[in-house]
Amino acid sequence: MTGRVFGIGVGPGDPELITVKAARLLDACSVVAYPATEDGASMARSIAAPYVAANKIELPINIPIATGRFPDAAIYAAAADRIGAHLHDSHDVAVLCEGDPFFYGSFMYLYGLLAESGHVVEVVPGVSSLMACAAMLGHPLAAKNEVMTVVPAPLPTDALRQRLSSTDAAAIIKLGRHFARVRDVLDELGLAERARYIQHATMQEQKSLPLRAVEPDKVPYFSMILTHRQGVAGQ
């Protein structure tokens, strides 16, 4: 009998936005793995803190910032091996994922490796930052027969322009150092006034700003712009 793996979405930031299922599985699993920076900080671990008992075996997966955007295959292979060893010892393993595991998450790399090795991997969906940002703004993401597009900010400027001009609503994710470029494209398309910038939604330090009030060099990776043809800014 080998153990099972659960890829657990811990939600956008507020620990209360974890699901009842995630809380139950965190209690039941003896091993808890999570992505962390080189110095050990982990957003996923910190969101799940109220649900991780002191007697768990903890497996931080340290990912250097420099390679954060382009996952280092060797790091995930080593992590899969460490998780695999616990599974062979019949431990169930919870892998914590910010937001939802399968919405632009790095869990997919581990998922692939573990599933290929024949392990049973179940994904527990979580509340995505997409829905958290809309709730915080008090404005729907999309309604009726509107088309909604999720656009990663690192795309080339032409691609950004093309995507943002041809949709009813958009969520522009992974902003970081791309903020100013995205803002300029929205300006050009006449969408900037109606858009809204959100960072750390549902966390204590959450903030929502009109684009002109954002300092471009202070925009974190975990931030988002929501736009809508009819505007979200006035809400």
Which residues of this chain interact with a second copy, rule CB under 8 A? 9, 11-12, 14-21, 23-24, 100-105, 108, 111, 115, 121-128, 130-132, 134-135, 138-152, 154-155, 159, 163, 167, 174, 202
Do the beta carbons of residue 36 and residue 63 sit within 8 Å?
A: yes
User: Shortest distance, CB of residue 191 to a second copy, whole angstroms?
Assistant: 17
Nearer to a second copy by Cβ, of 57 and 68: the residue is 68
Nearer to a second copy by Cβ, of 146 and 187: the residue is 146
Half-sphere exposure of 66 (CA within 13 A, CB side): 0
Nearer to a second copy by Cβ, of 40 and 144: the residue is 144
User: Shortest distance, CB of residue 118 to a second copy, whole angstroms?
Assistant: 14
User: Shortest distance, CB of residue 40 to a second copy, whole angstroms?
Assistant: 25
Residue 176 tokens, joined: 């970081």
How, if at all, do strands 169-173 and 223-228 pair? antiparallel
**DSSP state string for 189-200:** TT-TTT-EEEES
User: Shortest distance, CB of residue 172 to a second copy, whole angstroms?
Assistant: 11
Nearer to a second copy by Cβ, of 114 and 219: the residue is 114
Can you tell me which residue has the tokens 């929205």? Answer: 186
- Cα dist from 228 to 213, 218, 225, whole Å: 19, 24, 10
User: Shortest distance, CB of residue 13 to a second copy, whole angstroms?
Assistant: 11
Can you tell me which residue has the tokens 């791309």? Answer: 178
Nearer to a second copy by Cβ, of 65 and 143: the residue is 143
Do the beta carbons of residue 13 and residue 47 sit within 8 Å?
A: yes
